Amino acid sequence: MKKMKIMSVKGICLRETNYSEASKILNVYTEEFGMLGILSKSCRNLKSKLRGVSRKLLYGTYHIYYKEKGLSILIGVDMINGYLKTTMDLERVTYASYIADLTEQVIKQEADENLFSSLVAALEKIEEGLDASTITNIYEVKMLAYLGVLPSLDGCAVCGNKNNIVTISSDKGGLLCGSCFQSGVDRIVSSKTIKLLRMYYYVDLSKITKIEVEKESEREIDQFLEEYYEKYTGVITKSKKMLKEVKRMERKQESTRKDLEYLENNKVS
């Protein structure tokens, strides 16, 4: 029997799946080898030393018995970041889980060496408390480039004109100028939304320290990206449904807040 060699690799667990009575299979995205399937034996036992480190959204150095074909075996993990603030918050962990699931789908189509650093940066920014919805939108735009279906963000998707840009269309593949815009067919978005989408593609996630996006622009970007992903990528993630529910709750809370502010400012004396 060929002896498996011991290796140490940096990676982030994108998915965990229960296996047998007490074990898990971890899908770990590594900088060096791409996606690895790692068996964490008996980690679901209460006294297992692997219990706390055998989970989704854990970034660490994984010490494994490496197997080129099939499952490697987990020996231990030196945690780099467990994203504890994220995992303890329903909103943040829902966005982070979606990012992890999206990454796993993108890797199947394009294993780019820069993707790993983008993933780390996105998760770190959510952990730091930056708006999870905005970070996720930025990440979604960047993933479209890896998937080879980036919308036209530098000029009109129809004619290439860089001037008189009036909106962005998922149906037509990107920005639209006034000449190519069809009233009653194409939806108008704000100029701020257009600028933000362009910025999302070019901005370095790791360099962001502060970001504020108006709710209307966030809604328009969400709608565009959801339609665009559905039309051009074929990417389907289980966490998307949960993310939609979280966003629905966020909008409901925002609406309630505005109603309360209105009532407070218009009290009858």
Q: Are 86 and 96 a contacting pair, CB within 8 Å?
A: yes
User: How many CA within 13 A on the CB side of residue 171?
Assistant: 7
Q: Are 39 and 74 a contacting pair, CB within 8 Å?
A: yes
Domains by residue range for the chain, with CATH:
5-82 (2.40.50.140), 108-233 (1.20.1440.120)
In this prediction, residue 269 carries a pLDDT of 46
Predicted confidence band at 1 (pLDDT cuts at 50, 70, 90)? very low
Q: Tell me how far CA of residue 170 lies from CA of 18, 62, 228, in angstroms.
A: 38, 41, 5
Rounded to a whole number of angstroms, the CA Rg of the chain reads 22
Distance, CA of 234 to CA of 223 (rounded, Å): 16
Nearest of 94, 126, 99 to residue 247 by alpha carbon: 94
In this prediction, residue 263 carries a pLDDT of 66
In this prediction, residue 254 carries a pLDDT of 65
Predicted confidence band at 251 (pLDDT cuts at 50, 70, 90)? low
Distance, CA of 41 to CA of 125 (rounded, Å): 32
Q: Tell me how far CA of residue 31 lies from CA of 6, 8, 50, 105, 168, in angstroms.
A: 17, 11, 22, 16, 35
Most confident of 45-49, 68-72, 243-247: 45-49
Q: Are 233 and 85 a contacting pair, CB within 8 Å?
A: no
Mean pLDDT of 175-191: 94
pLDDT digits (tens, 9 = 90+) for 72-127: 999 999 999 999 999 999 999 999 999 999 999 999 887 677 899 999 999 999 99
Q: Are 108 and 147 a contacting pair, CB within 8 Å?
A: no
> 12 has which bridge partners?
29, 59
